[in-house]
Amino acid sequence: MSTPVLDRLALVLVLGGALLLAAKGIFAKMLYAQGVELEALLVARALVSLPFIWGWAVLRGELPRVFAAPRGAVAAAAFGGLSGYYVGTWFDFRALQLIDASLERVLLFTYPAIVVVARAALRGAWPARRELLAASTAYAGVALAVGGFDAGLWTANGKGAAFVLISAATFAVYLLANEQVGRTLGSVGFLVVAATAAALALSAHFLLTSGPAALALSGHAWLLLVVMTVFTNVLPLFMLSAGIGRIGAARAAILSSIGPPATLCMAWLWLGERLEAVQVLGAVVIVAGIVILEVGRAPPATRGA
């Protein structure tokens, strides 16, 4: 198979993965409408995902590398998982009980700007001009998306928006932890440790705050939950990983900017959500900020076919 064909396949994988991820909030809203509790949704989603992630690691032969890794690297991966997939996921799905799915996806898309600021702070240096422009643009978009100059919109969306931004920040911590120890564990090994630590934490959280009775869901609710987990979490994770391996993270991030507009359309079509004009403008500005951030980065070395 030729390199151009493989590159086109990678583009399809990244775009498809981004579109599937964009549907997460839609399914969450449907599950809440079915009476599913937040903690039950989170623990079921984590436990359904785990066998797929471990199975992927077994097929890739990555587990020996994880078991042989230094304890510090494993601990860092576990911390990243607790940050991004436990704390961050809780805040993200709690926000979906407070604000529209379209607004949640737009705000969550700010995490690359947070990574830029955090990385600069860790280096003790100012971000590059392009990075500073991108971050400033993205957060100007946040202000517009949450409500712009409309006090009523700020009142309605402020708490949920704050929760999404906390989630974005914790996911940035996850990415920074991956940068630090991902080479030691490998990307799949890092995910195994992170997802397992998060699943254990979510299970403990569930037992302390709810109980097994909360998982007595209807057949329709379980079907929605499994479909959401497989098609908006596990499958896009594999698709994006395969696509990024071919075309690089920078190009993949630009292609993934299709996610927020896709969620806007899906939320309008399936949930009847409509953002105000100023919020749509904010969504456009946020996406523009992330595109500014990624455009112009040095492309990765091309891999052979």
DSSP string, the chain: --HHHHHHHHHHHHHHHHHHHHTHHHHHHHHHHTT--HHHHHHHHHHHHHHHHHHHHHHHT-HHHHHHS-HHHHHHHHHHHIIIIIIHHHHHHHHTTTS-HHHHHHHHTTHHHHHHHHHHHHHTSPPPHHHHHHHHHHHHHHHHHHTTT-HHHHHHHHHHHHHHHHHHHHHHHHHHHHHHHHHHH-HHHHHHHHHHHHHHHHHHHHHHHS-GGGG---HHHHHHHHHHHIIIIIHHHHHHHHHHHHH-HHHHHHHGGGHHHHHHHHIIIII-----HHHHHHHHHHHHHHHHHHTTPPPPPPPP-
- Write down the pLDDT at residue 69: 93
- Write down the pLDDT at residue 304: 34
Whether 137 is in a domain gets the answer: yes
Query: Could you list the residue range(s) of the whole structural domain that residue 135 is in?
Result: 3-294
Whether 158 is in a domain gets the answer: yes
Whether 52 is in a domain gets the answer: yes
Whether 299 is in a domain gets the answer: no
- Write down the pLDDT at residue 150: 87
- Write down the pLDDT at residue 103: 94
Whether 189 is in a domain gets the answer: yes
Amino acid identity for residue 251 in this structure: R
- Write down the pLDDT at residue 221: 95
- Write down the pLDDT at residue 6: 67
Whether 303 is in a domain gets the answer: no
Number of domains in the chain: 1
Whether 229 is in a domain gets the answer: yes
Whether 163 is in a domain gets the answer: yes
Write the Ramachandran bin of 186: left for phi over 0, alpha for psi from -120 to 50, otherwise beta. left
pLDDT in tens, the chain (305 residues): 446 676 788 888 989 999 999 999 999 999 999 999 999 999 999 999 999 999 999 999 999 999 999 999 999 999 999 999 999 999 999 999 999 999 999 999 998 888 888 888 888 888 888 888 988 999 999 999 998 888 988 999 999 999 999 999 999 999 899 888 988 998 899 999 999 999 999 999 999 999 899 999 999 999 999 999 999 999 998 888 788 777 776 677 778 888 899 999 999 999 999 888 999 999 999 999 988 887 765 444 333 32
- Write down the pLDDT at residue 174: 92
